[in-house]
Amino acid sequence: MAKRDFLKLSDLTVEELSALFHRTKVLKEARTERRVIQTLLGRTLVMIFEKSSTRTRLSFEAAMAQLGGHAINLPITESQLGRGESLADTARVVSGYADAIMFRTFADERIAELAKHATVPVINGLTDGGHPVQLLADLFTMLEHFPKLEGLKVAFVGDGASNMGESWVEASQLFKFDLRIAAPEGYRPKAKAKILEPKAAVEGCDVVTTDVWTSMGQEKEKEARLKAFAGYIVDPALMSRAAPHAIVLHCLPAHRGEEIAHEVLEGPQSVVWAEAENRMHVQKALLERLILDATPALPKRVG
């Protein structure tokens, strides 16, 4: 069987994603009861990071270890990639060692290039254009609070052009929930989306979410962004417009007082800590799906 990559949410069908959420529940219960499941015994994940990370690195590493496998971390600055070796050559070499590769990088073209030359599954650990493994955790967390995703009212307030904003739009199209984006002009998703003012977007919502105003790699734009996003904070006043049962999600790291108020992040509607933990559970299901369903072929020649 040909290898499957997970570069965007829609690389798996809705049925496959639903099955993955069912498996996540089983894996989470097992972990909570400290029952050991070792489906990836002897398997190796190589993680290549071109940007910082806490959750992605640790949740993938813990996931592999707990499933009986192993993860190797390769920060790009300590690798030959950082000295000019091509992604194509790296992909072929790493495919000989690993059962899957997780890559966190900038432009989506970079992960597409790695995936093209890798003969093992490649997982998007965040690019400028999306953060699909985070959305897996977010959708699973929503399913812990609501019976189904279809028809839910979800507000994304903040940088709609961020990787999170783009992935939320993709998720809403796949799972048919009513996504409202509140983002200033110039910071809206590329894909077609419902754009509203923050108060109107949050009105009656089941889920309220946001992302940092300045993503990794945009640090030079910080001052301009602080100005552009004034009025887009998820604070108690904005939350008072959501449904009383609404939950608050945030992929973290959070900037308290910028995109989200401390009182909201720490308040009773916040499920951000469960959401962060769910990264590991859902990625276990993803790793099983991609590694056990793929039969890696020998590395291909380039040129």
Summarize as ranges the residues that interact with ligand NVA (CB under 6 A): 126, 162-164, 211-212, 215-216, 251
How would you class 122 by CB atoms within 10 Å of its CB: exposed for 0-12, middle for 13-18, buried for 19 or more?
buried
Binding partner of residue 54 among ligand CP, ligand NVA, none, CB under 5 to 8 Å per kind?
Answer: ligand CP
What does 170-209 look like in DSSP terms, one character per residue? HHHHHHT-EEEEE--TTSS-SS--EE--HHHHHTT-SEEE
From the candidates 5, 57, 134, 225, which is the catalytic residue?
134
List the x/- string, 218-257, binding to ligand CP by CB under 6 A.
Answer: ---------------------------------xx-----
Where does this chain touch ligand CP (CB under 6 A) — which range of 26-34, 47-55, 219-227, 241-249?
47-55
User: Partners of 72 in the beta sheet?
Assistant: 46
131 is an active site residue? yes
251 is an active site residue? yes
Straight-line distance from the first to the last Cα atom of the chain, in angstroms, rounded to the nearest whole number: 24
250 is an active site residue? no
Do the beta carbons of residue 211 and residue 168 sit within 8 Å? no
Q: Which amino acid is at 27?
A: L
Positions 108 through 167 that interact with ligand CP (CB under 6 A): 126, 134
279 is an active site residue? yes
Task: Indicate the residue among 56 and 66 with the shorter CB distance to ligand CP.
Answer: 56
Question: In a 3-state reduction of DSSP, which class is residue 91?
Answer: helix
Q: How far apart are CA 219 and CA 45, in angstroms?
A: 30
Binding partner of residue 211 among ligand NVA, ligand CP, none, CB under 5 to 8 Å per kind?
Answer: ligand NVA
List, as own/partner pairs, every contact residues 184-191 make where C-beta atoms lie below 8 angstroms and the sequence separation is at least 24, other chains included. 184/228, 184/229, 184/232, 186/161, 186/228, 187/159, 187/160, 187/161, 187/225, 187/228, 187/229, 188/160, 188/161, 189/160, 189/161, 189/165, 190/161, 190/166, 191/166
Task: Indicate the residue among 44 and 105 with the shorter CB distance to ligand NVA.
Answer: 105
Positions 17 through 36 that interact with ligand CP (CB under 6 A): none
Where does this chain touch ligand CP (CB under 6 A) — which range of 36-44, 52-60, 144-152, 227-235?
52-60
211 is an active site residue? yes
- Checking DSSP bridges between strand 44-49 and strand 207-210, what pairing results, if any? unpaired
Q: How far is the CB of 137 from ligand NVA (least distance, A)?
A: 11
99 is an active site residue? no
Task: Indicate the residue among 126 and 179 with the shorter CB distance to ligand CP.
Answer: 126
- Count interface residues toward ligand CP (CB under 6 A): 8
Q: How far apart are CA 250 and CA 273, in angstroms?
A: 9
User: Partners of 100 in the beta sheet?
Assistant: 45
Task: Indicate the residue among 90 and 127 with the shorter CB distance to ligand CP.
Answer: 127
Q: How far is the CB of 38 from ligand CP (least distance, A)?
A: 25
Which residues are the active-site residues? 104, 131, 134, 211, 251, 279
Residues forming the site for ligand CP (CB under 6 A): 53-56, 126, 134, 251-252
